[in-house]
Each structure stands twice: as structure tokens, then as C-alpha cells.
Amino acid sequence: IELAIDKARSAGACILAIGNAHHNGPLWLDVEPFAEAGLIALSVVNSVTYVVPHGGHKRLYGTNPMAFAVPRADGQVLLFDQATAAMAHGEVRIAARESKILPEGIGLDA
């Protein structure tokens, strides 16, 4: 991240692409250091289809997490981190492994 911050400062912008990655956890951890350095950061992740749209019956969307961070004039950082799924995919897999029932409205029976 430090190298990307240096590149953004020297070139005015920096784009970082990561391929063949696995679960990366909360995205705010990736964008916060940029805002702390006085820069704006955006992180987006593609996903295979896991999410069923409201009223739907089959998977159509990925979880498509995204986060951004912006430095504020008061020195604090404004952070936003979200995904389109009602529950993290990892939590669904843990519930399945432990034979737990998901909360109402979280998933569909296959």
C-alpha cells in the first residue's frame, strides 16, 4: 500500500489490480491508509454469482463489495464499506459447515 500511495502522490493517481486472489476480508482496511495520507481511495471486487435479487429465484449477482475512503478537513477519515449481499459469503459457508439455519430472508433453499 505504501508503494501505491507514493505512486499516487508522484503521478496524481494510482490503479492497483490484484488477480487470482481469494477472500480478502473487509475492504476498509485497504482504503483507510490512503485517506490517512490525504488521498481518496476506491476499492471494488468482482465476484461469481451468489446473490439472488429481491423476488428472484436464482443467483444473478455477485456480492460485489466496494469501499471508499476520503480525508476530511477535520483530520478524520470518512469510510464506506459494503457488499450487495445480506450476509457475508464466508458466514454462509460457516453456517452450512456447522449445519446452522440462516436467518429468515437471508437465502433460498436449493
pLDDT given at position 43: 93
pLDDT given at position 87: 85
pLDDT per position as a tens digit, 24-67: 678 999 999 999 999 999 999 888 888 888 888 888 988 888 99
Query: The pTM is what?
Result: 0.78
pLDDT at residue 74 tops 90: yes
pLDDT given at position 23: 65
Average pLDDT, the chain: 89
What's the fold here for domain 2-97? Ribosomal Protein S8; Chain: A, domain 1 (3.30.1370)
Confidence of residue 110 (pLDDT cuts 50, 70, 90): low
Give strand pairing partners of 41.
Answer: 69
Average pLDDT over residues 73-83: 95
pLDDT given at position 46: 83
